[in-house]
Amino acid sequence: MSHKVCLITGASSGIGEYLAYEYAKLGYRLVLTGRDQKLDAVKNRCNSRFPKILVQPELVDVNDEQGMKEMINRTLSNSELGRLDVVVANAGYASGGPLEKISVDIYRKQMETNVFGVLHTIYPCLDALKKSKGKLALIGSVNSYLSVPTNSAYSMSKYALRALGEAITYELSPKGVSVSMIYPGFVKSVIRLKDNHGNVVEDKKDFAANLAMPTDKAAKQIARAIERRKKEKIITYHGIVAIYLKRYVPWFVRLLFRFQSKSPKNKIL
């Protein structure tokens, strides 16, 4: 087969949606997953811009392990797809709130989607990626390095995802599969407009609207890093600065967080 196929989870909005446009531009056939009918709109936009690109939308939740297996089996048995060259594990959401005001269930659900949902994506794709010497990308967060007050659940899940990515990089490299860990800072997205169950709150304001990088710009940088098989890529200048401070001036970060914790707000990087 001369064509290449890219699978993107969480492709109905935000980074996942704009990565679909980037990979369509690169000539990949697309398999896009999500939980709602917005996927059809993304498919239509892809086809209007790139009419020759095959786009296969799949309504499936990454928390549904069996559903993910069946979807990937359909992809691999489809004569117009039949392979996987790039897999982007992007689906996820962010829970917020101080420890004393959220429950163990919030932490559990956050880990289920942001960590186990990624594993539900990776396992059924492994053989196909090894066959194609393909590329696997895990969309983490700057919160993979900075655990922000009032966002311990989200930060915990992204720390775990970074640990997963670092370990499997060495395991999969000898088999020809690259693993790219992507760490976005504030990017224009609905992630900061959702509640602790992953549902959009219509009247919620994005506190980072003035700082957030345009989604199309972020998607270009992410796609370029994946295609170049970069092991790590931090997206946004403020994200680079934040991780630099955490690594080299940790006392300054602790001081900032001490002040923030006195007046906690939901701040997700």
* Catalytic machinery residues: 154
**Beta-bridge mates of residue 40:** none
User: What SS3 class is residue 56?
Assistant: strand
> Which parts of 54-209 are beta strand (E)?
55-59, 86-89, 135-139, 178-184
Angle of CA points 31, 192, 13, to nearest 5°: 20
Burial label, 158 (beta-carbon count in 10 A; 0-12, 13-18, 19+): buried
Residue 100 is classified by DSSP as G
Number of helical (H) and strand (E) elements in the chain, helices listed first: 9, 7
d(CA 198, CA 94): 7
d(CA 108, CA 212): 28
